[in-house]
Amino acid sequence: MAKAIEKKDKFHTDKSPTWCPGCGDFSIWMALKEALEKLQLEPEKVVIVYGIGCSGNMANYVRTYGFHGLHGRALPVGEAVKMINPGMTVIVVGGDGDGLGEGIGHFLHSVRGNHDLTYIIHDNQVYGLTTGQTAPTSAKGFVTKSTPFGVLEEPVNAAALALAAGGHFVARGFAGEQMHLVDTLVRAIQHPGFSLVDVLQPCVTFNDLNTYAWFFERIYKLEESEYAPNDRMQAMVKAMESATLPIGVMYEGESTPYHLGVEGLDISKPLAEQKLKPRNISTIVEHYL
Amino acid sequence: MEEITLKIGGIAGAGIKSTGEIFAKICLRSGWHVFDYTEYPSLIRGGHNTYHVRAATEPIWSTVQYIHILIALNEEAVRLHLEHVIEGGVVVYDPSVVDAEKLGRGRSDVRFCAVPFAELAISSGGIEKMGNMVSIGAVVGLLHGSLKITKSVIADIFATKGEQIVSQNEVAAEAGYEYVQEHFSEPFAWTLHELDAPEQMLVAGNEALGFGALAGGVQFYAGYPMTPSSSILHFMAKYGPKQGVVVKHASDEIGAVNMCIGAGFAGARAMTASSGGGFSLMVESLGLAGITETPIVITEVQRGGPATGLPTWTEQADLRFVAHASQGEFPRVLLAPASVEECFTHAALALNLAEIAQTPVLILSDKLLAESQKSTEPFTSKHVAIDRGKLMTTREANRQKDYHRYEITEDGISPRAVPGLPNTLFLANSDEHDTYGYSEENAENRTAMVDKRARKLEQIKDLLPKPIIIGPKQADYTFITWGSTMGPVLDAMRILEAEGHSVQMYRLPVILPFPSEEVTQFLETTTQTILVENNSEGQLGGLIREKTGYELDVHMLKYDGRPFFPEEIVQNFLAMIEEAH
């Protein structure tokens, strides 16, 4: 019991979530804190960068170093934090609208750069905070306030995109399977390089289609099958499944994180801790005489 | 003042720029002052390119239109530029390519020196491309300049290409030099004699900004290529990593600026640059840096706008845009360097100001300043000091019991922690927030936070360069400028003063925070004011009116993509006086 209270304190703030009762965000939030506990990380060694939306509001509820940025722009902030201070664990939290709408370019570039961070997408197939418009992951035909005649586009498949862009860790979670999500997040955070965890999640207020029941009818855990997540093409097949929805780690491969390749970056001594003095520029000046 | 100007014209891809740069360096190493200027269309190959080198025995600040020596690499160069060749000037050309004499009929006051560039390059053991070195040698020969200095410049330029290439190019230059000695022995009115002068460097504004940033301790540079800002990225990518700077060619301008914000939040000195279009994309994040109080430096190198506008030409029409960019209100500093020397000092200063005030600092440059090379005393870090403001040390963090990142302080600046320090967890929040950084929308907090942020600028006022008066303290006429227009105005003033006119210049090196008091005091005592700007609306004039209530008397504006030329300012000035009488 005493341990449970201590646990609660470590990553807990005194702010109460503003999410709707029953929202999948609660479970992602709990799972993230549990994963950080399991990894025995200290709040001072973790930076979480958030986008904008219901997912981004989590910024107020996790006690670590935090950066609540702009809609779709969280990834480049997180990438730089990792380069400047490679000793920190960097996690980026975004929504499907945030990260796969305005932020889809950053998403693909972050994957192909293999920046060492864990990207958690709250994927509820709808825009919640702006009261229920279509999201990039909404099903074709989905009727919302902004698409009264049904969505015409194909939904964005984050896992498939990450695989196509050369991602070395691609996973999917489900807010209704919190313990499974904890394990997935632990593996993702441990992975060196970019790791995607696309978390399927019901929006209990604005999405009447993708409900808990709808997900429970379709999801299955990859870890409970013979599936081995070491083949990119097989992972792509899993990512593209539509009648049923696999959750768990789809792919994990060899990976060298971006910051290890950066010329001039001394990872033994984070830039943030280096003492700054004016640099000697005389050898460069010589080229201009 | 003795002066020599040289213009090279030809198609893009013909080595115009490198040839011009070699001549500029020969003048520099001969002890002369140099200012060069390049014109090129937004094309990789084809189109008409020019490079104009102006060298003088006294300091100069701008380019001019008139030409003493024209190297015509094609017939268009003769057609377009012959009218600017002054009496006694010379056209140097390859007669197998250009029939300059025929094209120049009617200009008996100009000498036509046919030098078989390609033929001499080949006969001296090189290849046709080395014809450019023949032309350089020929020009140095006509000017009775130093062949030794010419060779030293060639040796340095081609050093990385190996000894054989160096020697072939040297021999080609020598062939041109000897050819003119033999065929055009009649003395030329101008000579490039060696001056006993202190050593100088030749540097463009963008490179000077890079030098200043390096000296000032920049640790992170992210950028996306956009003319005319790209050479800052190139400079940083070339020299940064060896100095421990992380340099990233980002996926786009939004990524670049957000990376800089992430780096600033994480405790590194961060900088980015773009031109107007790319800066437009950065605007939302400018406000993010403002509300999260993250230090960041953004340079905007103006070109003709709006939209894609004139990609390779100059303009000063983004002043109002940059001054007002982003929704909401937050403190910002806007610096406007006017010379390569100021590009250097302002870049280092900007990094300090950003950290001291924990807010974005903007530097506004333009194509003329960014890409023109000017001679200057070699840069040194000697006078550069780094001030990181209220950035916490580990020891200070260890003493924290209840850290408030956004503590309401009297000076508006809060002690700043960065991720990784002990006891200082905080949230940098794009939403309005309380002193810890948690989202907070209540009315009192909002007002207190807006006020706190606004108070910061008062703290840095003393660190900012004051408006500058050049010329006599009391004058009949005052030119008012900002940024690169200082150069042509200074050179025009030299001419006007020589003709007995009483003129001075008043220049604003800092646009924001606007020095309202100083400008008001100054305008109270001036006589006739002449605003000189490279835009059509007189944007600084508008800002002065807004902040001081004073309307400047005359607006001298130019917005055709070309910079002001001093002789143009002189003409406009004389016409103005004429009209007044």
Q: Which pLDDT does position B406 carry in this prediction?
A: 98
Inter-chain CB proximity B200 and A289 less than 8 Å: yes
Counting Cα atoms < 13 Å in the Cβ hemisphere of A211 gives 5
Distance CA B435, CA B407 (A): 5
Backbone phi and psi for residue A203, each to the nearest 5 degrees, phi listed first: -105, 105
Q: Which pLDDT does position A4 carry in this prediction?
A: 46
The pLDDT tens digits for B284-324 are 999 999 999 999 999 999 999 999 999 999 999 999 999 99
Q: What is the DSSP string of B225-270?
A: --TTTHHHHHHHHHHTGGGT-EEEE-SSHHHHHHHHHHHHHTT--E
Give percent helix, percent strand, percent coil of chain B, each to the nearest 5.
Answer: 40, 20, 40
- Tell me the CA distances in angstroms from A246 to A227, B188, B348, one per residue in order: 10, 84, 53
The pLDDT tens digits for B426-457 are 999 999 999 999 999 999 999 999 999 999 99
Percentage of residues in chain B having pLDDT higher than 90: 95
Average pLDDT over residues B217-230: 98
For residue A106, what are its two tokens? 């950053």
- Per-residue confidence at A51, pLDDT binned at 50, 70, 90? very high
Please enumerate in sequence order all residues whose Cβ is within 8 A of that of B150, keeping only pairs 6 or more positions apart, or say none: B26, B136, B137, B140, B173, B177
Distance CA B520, CA B538 (A): 18
User: Hey, which residues 11-70 in chain A have their CB within 8 Å of chain B?
Assistant: 13, 15, 43-45, 47, 49, 52, 57, 59-60, 63-70
Q: Which residue of A lies nearest to B286 if distances are taken between CA atoms?
A: A70
Query: Which of A25, A29, A74 is closest to A47 using CA atoms?
Result: A74
The pLDDT tens digits for A102-148 are 999 999 999 999 999 999 999 999 999 999 999 999 999 999 999 99
CB-count burial class (<10 Å; 0-12, 13-18, 19+) for A147: middle
A257 in B contact zone (CB under 8 Å)? no
Average pLDDT over residues B268-295: 98
A205 in B contact zone (CB under 8 Å)? no
Q: Which pLDDT does position B418 carry in this prediction?
A: 96
Pairing of strands B503-507, B468-470: antiparallel
CB-count burial class (<10 Å; 0-12, 13-18, 19+) for A245: middle
Inter-chain CB proximity B214 and A262 less than 8 Å: no
Please enumerate in sequence order all residues whose Cβ is within 8 A of that of B5, keeping only pairs 6 or more positions apart, or say none: B52, B53, B54, B55, B64, B66, B67, B68, B69
Q: Say if residue A2's pLDDT is above 70.
A: no
Distance CA B95, CA B82 (A): 16
Element (H, E) at A215: helix A212-218
Q: Say if residue A9's pLDDT is above 80.
A: no
Angle at A157 between CA A155 and CA A163, to 5 degrees: 155
Q: Which pLDDT does position B194 carry in this prediction?
A: 97
Contacts of A109 in chain B (CB under 8 A): 251, 255
Q: Say if residue B237's pLDDT is above 80.
A: yes
Alpha-helical runs (H) found in B75-162: 75-81, 100-103, 117-123, 131-142, 147-157
The pLDDT tens digits for B459-476 are 999 999 999 999 998 999
CB-count burial class (<10 Å; 0-12, 13-18, 19+) for B506: buried
Pairing of strands B503-507, B477-481: parallel
Q: Dihedral angle at the C-alpha atoms of B246, B248, B253, B255, nearest 10 degrees?
A: -80
Least confident piece of the model among A38-52, A96-110, B33-47, B530-544:
B33-47
Q: Are B384 and A278 in contact (CB under 8 A)?
A: yes
- Per-residue confidence at B42, pLDDT binned at 50, 70, 90? confident
Angstroms from A149 CA to nearest CA on chain B: 32
Element (H, E) at A174: strand A169-174
Angle at B517 between CA B512 and CA B522, to 5 degrees: 110
Distance CA B483, CA B318 (A): 12
A272 in B contact zone (CB under 8 Å)? yes
Q: Say if residue A1's pLDDT is above 60.
A: no
Average pLDDT taken over every residue of chain B: 96
Please enumerate in sequence order all residues whose Cβ is within 8 A of that of B510, keeping only pairs 6 or more positions apart, or say none: B333, B334, B335, B336, B464, B465
The pLDDT tens digits for A248-261 are 999 999 999 999 99
Distance CA A149, CA A287 (A): 65
The pLDDT tens digits for B532-568 are 999 999 999 999 999 999 999 999 999 999 999 999 9
Inter-chain CB proximity B243 and A77 less than 8 Å: no
- A217 C-beta neighbours (distance < 10 Å), count: 10
Q: Which pLDDT does position A8 carry in this prediction?
A: 59
Q: Which pLDDT does position B274 carry in this prediction?
A: 98
This prediction's pTM: 0.97
Q: Which pLDDT does position B212 carry in this prediction?
A: 98
Q: Which pLDDT does position B44 carry in this prediction?
A: 80
Q: Say if residue B270's pLDDT is above 80.
A: yes
Contacts of B239 in chain A (CB under 8 A): 284
- Which single residue is written with the structure tokens 């192909």? A112
Average pLDDT over residues B126-155: 96
CB-count burial class (<10 Å; 0-12, 13-18, 19+) for A234: middle
B442 in A contact zone (CB under 8 Å)? no
A209 in B contact zone (CB under 8 Å)? no
The pLDDT tens digits for B144-199 are 999 999 999 999 999 999 999 999 999 999 999 999 999 998 888 999 999 999 99
Angle at A215 between CA A214 and CA A217, to 5 degrees: 70
Q: Say if residue A7's pLDDT is above 60.
A: no
B152 in A contact zone (CB under 8 Å)? no
3-state secondary structure of B13: coil
User: Hey, which residues 518-557 in chain B have their CB within 8 Å of chain A?
Assistant: none
